[in-house]
């Protein structure tokens, strides 16, 4: 949810009002972010991003090299090459396209390349389905990427710009995925405010600046890039004598991500007057809540609507939207959830033979607390199945009754599926 | 234009020959293509440095070394997963004197697309401190004929300015000699073993260079390390053309081909002498042109050797020389003759 600030550096009247869908908003953000290389392959519901961006290229509105690759695998591969050469690189995909990228997602993260990827979340085949769920994003959760989930089209725009700032921060140097729900956001028109180009350029510090590192061969620090003036080798064979230490660098970098995400969220707030919770979590009415629901993505809006409604009816309910899924904010989320009686964890994906991905995280987060809420996992919306307000209200009533009973009969529940 | 050399060349007496290639941002010009062996020894440094772990007798580093002698200036090398990649960069060491990147197995051409696009974007915005930065890819046969073909074809179609050098050792040597789309018919490999029923691989080699010709990119050629002048000239042409270029270099592997470590150059020479691996180049303007020894053979067919001359030094073909397999040998000879004849018909400089 956006909160208004009194005096943003760029007041709302100086921001341009744009009526766009989520994909176009992402394309606008990429356009203003001085991206050097966009390599992308069409896949519904992401395609509009690259279509829109191609228009910017065709009209000479950007300096970007657009690489219309022959597959998503090559899209991510080209981004790796471009980012290693020192460029700011961007791509977008969904579902099977993201699955095809999977191998290179790990390489992008392990080479510490600050690539930004927009994922218009869509269900994975089979059966083939073009509509929203989060199974695609959950397939990359262990790849070493920062994963942000947005709730609306404005946030898709804001977060895409923020993603470059986060990825390129020297404390982070990790790729960032911006997840927007397929169709619910990617194809839904909204009025959004966008910044003047120069304000975005200034926010990002202009073109990408490559960090400098110390390596044995050179006396001075050298840019971490493919540079004929100071040649380095990227992606060498790395065996049992060093690989583990390099993985530890990624572990440490991930630890530094939340503070950077919070800082960027704050800076964005000062600039635009918009912020999303603390950047990591977006809680609503949680202080005295007996029942709290956690959710990712666009469903957050509907859940908030129901929380409002039930609060008016005197029910002690609240919600937390998880904006950052990787790194997962275990401690911060546990602190919010620990005093509730029941927590309903909504997952738009399932790990077959287990639970929903965020349910597992939240169990881990709460395990060490002596006093902790009961947990219920709601798997919903697979393959784009709608999650209308009535359905979510029913879920809250179930949870309220669980809270009253003091125990949970069925831990894993499927919402909105035919029996 | 006055030709310039790397700042630390010529090599001063007593100075190590293994230094990184440093092109300071103000560097301008072009490195000369030197074809005189003495000058070459005195004035050129290879982009691949000593100390790598490639096997004794491997042809791949010879190809890389010769190719790098033909580089014209600032160059970024992209390497597909394979022998060359694993053996030249075991962390924390590297044998590469130039900026080098390995991404994965099947995506060297896509990675090069990204590098090249970054260079273009820098140039467009005044952030490239040199006139040009060349992109050269090295990939093995697995990474080119098989798993990387889509990525290569895509990059060729998009017209990125890069040179792709395939070092073809005719099997997955890095993983232990498994058959690939580049393995010739009847060759023994660990996944096409010679058994009581099957005589090694039962399919012919994929015509990869012709596949690249079919893309009508600006330059395609074949080469071997034995014909080293020919190879260097072709590399330079491949770098100089504007757009994708492809060189198919035969790269003997003594472990996989089962020959003596001293025979890398000899076996490459025999591959050309038997017309098993003809040397040619192709441009959209001129079409196919035979080069070096293959042109000599075309002019004087008596020079053409029987295929046994290529096979007899290699353990992977030893079953073909057994009397009961004479028909297989004949089959292979007929295939070689047919392919050679096709090439003679197409080559604009072959005698009619």
The residue to which tokens 């053979």 are assigned: B297
For residue B75, give the chain A residue with the closest CA: A228
* Subunit contact B111:A81, Cβ cutoff 8 A: yes
d(CA A296, CA A137): 11
**pLDDT confidence of residue B151:** 98
| Contact call for residues A51 and A9 (beta carbons, < 8 A) | no
Confidence of residue A7 (pLDDT cuts 50, 70, 90): confident
Q: Measured between CB atoms, does B333 come within 8 Å of chain A?
A: no
Judge whether B32 lies within some domain.
no
**pLDDT confidence of residue B3:** 42
d(CA A164, CA A142): 20
Cα separations (Å) of B252 from A111, A349, B58, B270?
32, 50, 7, 11
Judge whether B28 lies within some domain.
no
Residue to test with chain A: of B8, B48, B102, B118, most A Cβ within 10 A: B118
d(CA B251, CA B270): 13
Residue to test with chain B: of A102, A111, A235, A244, most B Cβ within 10 A: A235
Pairs across A and B, CB distance < 8 A? 181
Partner-chain residue, chosen from A104, A230, A237, that has the shortest CB–CB distance to B91: A237
**pLDDT confidence of residue A217:** 83
Closest of A311, A322, A265 to residue A285, by C-alpha: A311
**pLDDT confidence of residue B118:** 98
d(CA B348, CA B345): 8
The residue to which tokens 């301008």 are assigned: B28
Q: Please identify among residues 127-166 of chain B the ones whose CB lies closer than 8 Å to any CB of chain A.
A: 127, 129-130, 133, 150-151, 153-155, 157-158
**pLDDT confidence of residue A328:** 98
Judge whether B21 lies within some domain.
no
For residue range A186-225, what is the model confidence (pLDDT) as tens digits? Answer: 999 999 999 999 999 999 999 999 999 999 888 899 999 9
Judge whether B111 lies within some domain.
yes
Confidence of residue A241 (pLDDT cuts 50, 70, 90): very high
**pLDDT confidence of residue B45:** 86
Supply the CATH number for residue B266's domain.
3.40.50.970
Cα separations (Å) of A365 from A300, A308, B103?
21, 27, 35
Contacts B117 to A, Cβ<8 Å: 36-37, 39, 65, 67, 78, 81-82, 87
DSSP strand pairing (A317-322 vs A190-194) = unpaired
Contacts B104 to A, Cβ<8 Å: 77, 103-104, 107
d(CA A395, CA A416): 10
Read out DSSP for B116-162? HHHHHHHHHTT---SS--EEEEEEESIIIIITTHHHHHHHHHHT-S-
Partner-chain residue, chosen from B103, B122, B125, that has the shortest CB–CB distance to A104: B103
* Subunit contact A86:B118, Cβ cutoff 8 A: yes
Read out DSSP for B257-275? HT--GGGHHHHHHHHHHTT
Closest of A112, A111, A104, A80 to residue A235, by C-alpha: A111
Q: Domains along chain A? A: 12-209+255-272 (3.40.50.970), 281-415 (3.40.50.920)
| Contact call for residues B59 and B253 (beta carbons, < 8 A) | yes
Q: Measured between CB atoms, does B124 come within 8 Å of chain A?
A: yes
Cα separations (Å) of B352 from A379, B81, B275, B286, B345?
74, 43, 18, 17, 8
Reduce the secondary structure of A198-227 to three states and give it as a string: HHHHHHHCCCCCCCEECCCCCCCCEECCCC
For residue A223, give the chain B residue with the closest CA: B99
For residue range A281-300, what is the model confidence (pLDDT) as tens digits? Answer: 999 999 999 999 999 999 99
Contacts B20 to A, Cβ<8 Å: 217, 231
* Subunit contact A229:B129, Cβ cutoff 8 A: yes
Confidence of residue A4 (pLDDT cuts 50, 70, 90): low
Judge whether B6 lies within some domain.
no
Judge whether B24 lies within some domain.
no
**pLDDT confidence of residue B2:** 37
> Which residues of chain B have a pLDDT value below 50?
1-4
State whether residue B111 is helix, strand or coil. Answer: helix
Mean pLDDT along residues A264-292 = 98
* Subunit contact B158:A68, Cβ cutoff 8 A: yes
Contacts B86 to A, Cβ<8 Å: 237
Mean pLDDT along residues A353-375 = 98
Contacts A68 to B, Cβ<8 Å: 158
Residues 6+ apart with CB under 8 A from A111: A80, A83, A84, A234, A235
For residue range A225-236, what is the model confidence (pLDDT) as tens digits? Answer: 999 999 999 999
Q: For residue A312, report the phi and psi dihedrals to the nearest 5 degrees.
A: -60, -30
**pLDDT confidence of residue B42:** 80
d(CA A249, CA A241): 15
The model's pTM is: 0.97
State whether residue B352 is helix, strand or coil. Answer: coil
CB crowding A242-278: b at 16 or more within 10 Å, else e: eeeeeeeeeeebbebbbebbbebbebbbebbbbbbbb
* Subunit contact A231:B96, Cβ cutoff 8 A: yes
Residues 6+ apart with CB under 8 A from B67: B136, B138, B165, B231, B232, B235
Domain encompassing residue B133: 37-346
**pLDDT confidence of residue B224:** 98
Residue to test with chain A: of B84, B121, B127, B153, most A Cβ within 10 A: B121
* Subunit contact B110:A37, Cβ cutoff 8 A: no
Greater confidence (B2 vs A75) lies with A75
Mean pLDDT of chain A, nearest integer:
97
* Subunit contact B75:A69, Cβ cutoff 8 A: no
- The alpha helices in chain B, defined as continuous H runs, are 37-43, 60-69, 83-88, 108-124, 149-158, 208-214, 228-240, 254-257, 264-273, 292-299, 308-311, 326-346
Judge whether B7 lies within some domain.
no
**How many domains is chain B partitioned into structurally?**
1
**pLDDT confidence of residue B10:** 56
Distance from CA of A26 to the nearest CA of B (A): 21
| Contact call for residues A402 and A370 (beta carbons, < 8 A) | no
Closest of B117, B90, B239 to residue A83, by C-alpha: B117
For residue B19, give the chain A residue with the closest CA: A217
């Amino acid at each position: 949810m956006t909160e208004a600030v009194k005096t943003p550096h760029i007041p709302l009247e100086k921001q341009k009002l744009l009526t766009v869908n989520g994909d176009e908003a992402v394309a606008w953000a990429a356009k203003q972010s001085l991206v050097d290389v966009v390599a992308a392959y069409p896949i519904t519901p992401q395609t509009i991003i690259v279509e829109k961006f191609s228009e910017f290229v065709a009209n000479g509105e950007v300096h970007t090299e657009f690489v219309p690759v022959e597959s998503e695998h090559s899209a991510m591969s080209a981004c790796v090459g471009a980012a290693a050469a020192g460029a700011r690189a961007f791509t977008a995909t969904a579902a099977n396209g993201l699955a095809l990228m999977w191998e290179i997602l790990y390489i992008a993260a392990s080479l510490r390349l600050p690539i930004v990827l927009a994922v218009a979340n869509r269900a994975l085949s089979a059966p083939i389905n073009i509509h929203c769920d989060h199974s695609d994003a959950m397939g990359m959760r262990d790849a070493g990427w920062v994963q942000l989930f947005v709730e609306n089209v404005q946030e898709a725009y804001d977060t895409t710009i923020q993603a470059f700032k986060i990825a390129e921060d020297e404390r982070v140097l990790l790729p960032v995925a911006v997840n927007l729900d397929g169709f619910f956001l990617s194809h839904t028109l909204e009025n959004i405010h966008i910044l003047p180009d120069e304000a975005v350029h200034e926010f990002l510090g202009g073109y990408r600046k490559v960090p400098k590192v110390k390596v044995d061969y050179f006396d001075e620090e050298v840019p971490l890039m493919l540079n004929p003036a100071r040649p380095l080798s990227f992606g060498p064979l790395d065996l049992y004598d060093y690989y583990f230490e390099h993985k530890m660098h990624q572990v440490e970098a991930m630890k530094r991500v939340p503070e950077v995400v919070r800082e960027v969220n704050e800076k964005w707030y000062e600039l635009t007057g918009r912020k999303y919770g603390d950047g990591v979590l977006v809680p609503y009415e949680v202080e005295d809540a007996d029942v709290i629901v956690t959710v990712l993505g666009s469903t957050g809006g509907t859940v908030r609507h129901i929380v409002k409604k039930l609060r008016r009816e005197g029910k002690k309910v609240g919600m937390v939207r998880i904006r950052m899924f990787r790194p997962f904010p275990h401690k911060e989320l546990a602190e919010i959830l620990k005093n509730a009686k029941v927590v309903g964890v909504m997952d738009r994906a399932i790990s077959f033979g287990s639970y929903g991905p965020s349910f597992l995280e939240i169990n881990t987060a709460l395990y060490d607390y002596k006093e902790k809420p009961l947990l219920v996992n709601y798997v919903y919306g697979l393959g784009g199945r709608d999650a209308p307000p009535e359905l979510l209200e029913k879920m809250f009533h179930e949870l309220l009754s669980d809270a009253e009973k003091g125990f949970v009969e069925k831990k894993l529940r499927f919402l909105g599926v035919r029996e | 234009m006055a030709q310039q050399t790397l700042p630390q060349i010529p090599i001063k007496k007593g100075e190590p020959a293994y230094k990184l290639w440093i092109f300071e941002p103000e560097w301008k010009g072009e490195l000369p293509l030197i074809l005189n062996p003495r000058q070459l020894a005195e004035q050129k440094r290879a982009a691949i440095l000593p100390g790598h772990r490639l096997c004794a007798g491997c042809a791949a580093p010879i190809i890389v070394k010769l190719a790098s002698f033909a580089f014209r200036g600032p160059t970024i090398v992209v390497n597909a997963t394979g022998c060359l990649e694993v053996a030249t960069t075991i962390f924390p060491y590297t044998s590469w004197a130039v900026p080098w990147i390995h991404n994965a197995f099947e995506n060297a051409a896509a990675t090069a697309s990204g590098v090249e696009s970054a260079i273009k974007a820098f140039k467009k915005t005044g952030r490239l401190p040199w006139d040009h930065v060349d992109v050269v890819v090295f990939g093995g046969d697995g990474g080119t004929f098989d798993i990387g073909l889509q990525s290569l074809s895509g990059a060729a179609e998009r017209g990125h300015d890069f040179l792709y050098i395939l070092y073809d050792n005719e099997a997955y040597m890095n993983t232990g000699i498994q058959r690939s789309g580049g393995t010739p018919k009847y060759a023994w490999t660990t996944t096409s073993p010679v058994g009581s029923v099957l005589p090694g691989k039962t399919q012919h080699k994929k015509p990869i260079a012709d596949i690249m010709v079919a893309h009508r990119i600006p330059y395609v050629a074949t080469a071997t390390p034995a014909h080293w002048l020919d190879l260097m000239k072709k590399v330079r042409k491949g770098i100089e053309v504007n757009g994708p270029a492809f060189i198919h270099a035969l790269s003997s592997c003594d472990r996989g081909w089962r020959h003596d470590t001293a025979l890398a150059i000899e076996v490459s020479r025999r591959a050309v002498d038997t017309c098993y691996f003809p040397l040619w180049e192709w441009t959209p303007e001129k079409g196919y042109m035979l080069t070096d020894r293959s042109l000599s053979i075309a002019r004087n067919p008596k020079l053409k050797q029987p295929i046994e001359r290529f096979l007899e030094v290699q353990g992977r073909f030893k079953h073909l020389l057994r009397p009961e397999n004479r028909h297989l040998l004949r089959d292979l000879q007929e295939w070689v003759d047919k392919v050679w004849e096709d090439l003679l018909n197409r080559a604009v400089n072959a005698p009619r």
